[in-house]
Amino acid sequence: MEINNIEIKYRDMKNRNTNELLASLNCISWDTCFTHDNINNILNAFRDKVNTVLDEHIPFKAKRVKRQHQPPWITTAVKERDKLLKIARKSNLQADWNQFEHPKCKTSNLIKKAKRNYFPGISRKEQRKSKRHLEGSKDSQRNAKTVPANFRSLVYFYGIKNSGVEEWDFAFEQFQNTTVASERRKILYGLAGASEPWILSRYLQYSITPDKIKSQDTSRVLSYVANYNPNGRQLTWQFLKLNWNLIKEKFGGGFFAIRNIILSVTSGFSTEFELEDLKEFNRKHSAGSGTRAQQQAEEGVMANIQWRKENEQDVSNWLKYFLEKNNIPLN
Considering only CA atoms, give the Rg of the chain. 25
Instruction: Please state, in angstroms and rounded to a whole number, the distance separating the CA atoms of residues 197 and 192.
Output: 10
DSSP letter at 11 equals E
Instruction: Please state, in angstroms and rounded to a whole number, the distance separating the CA atoms of residues 243 and 239.
Output: 6
| Residues 179 and 303 occupy one common structural domain | yes
Domain contains 245 = yes
Domain contains 135 = no
| Residues 54 and 173 occupy one common structural domain | no
Domain contains 29 = yes
Domain contains 203 = yes
Residues in a beta bridge with 63: 8
pLDDT for res 168: 92
DSSP letter at 71 equals P
Predicted structure pTM score: 0.56
Of 32, 37, 35, give the one whose Cα is nearest residue 52.
32
pLDDT, tens digit, for every residue of 268-310?
898 999 999 999 998 888 766 667 888 889 999 999 999 889 8
| Residues 229 and 293 occupy one common structural domain | yes
| 198 against 252, higher pLDDT | 198
Domain contains 113 = yes
Diameter over CA atoms, the chain: 69
Assign residue 183 the CATH number of its domain.
1.25.50.20
Backbone angles phi, psi at 135, to 5 degrees: -70, -40
Looking at the structure of the chain, the number of domains it has is 3
Domain contains 138 = no
Domain contains 205 = yes
Mean pLDDT of the chain: 80
Task: Write the Ramachandran bin of 17: left for phi over 0, alpha for psi from -120 to 50, otherwise beta.
Answer: beta
286 class by beta-carbon count within 10 Å (0-12 exposed, 13-18 middle, 19+ buried): exposed
The 10 Å Cβ neighbour count of residue 57 is 17
Domain contains 142 = no
| Residues 13 and 157 occupy one common structural domain | no
Helix H or strand E segment including 65: strand 60-68
| Residues 123 and 177 occupy one common structural domain | no
pLDDT, tens digit, for every residue of 200-233?
999 999 999 989 998 888 888 999 999 899 889 9
pLDDT, tens digit, for every residue of 105-142?
777 766 666 666 655 555 454 555 555 556 555 554 54
| Residues 177 and 200 occupy one common structural domain | yes
| Residues 57 and 155 occupy one common structural domain | no
Q: Which domain holds residue 83?
A: 76-128
Helix H or strand E segment including 90: helix 76-91
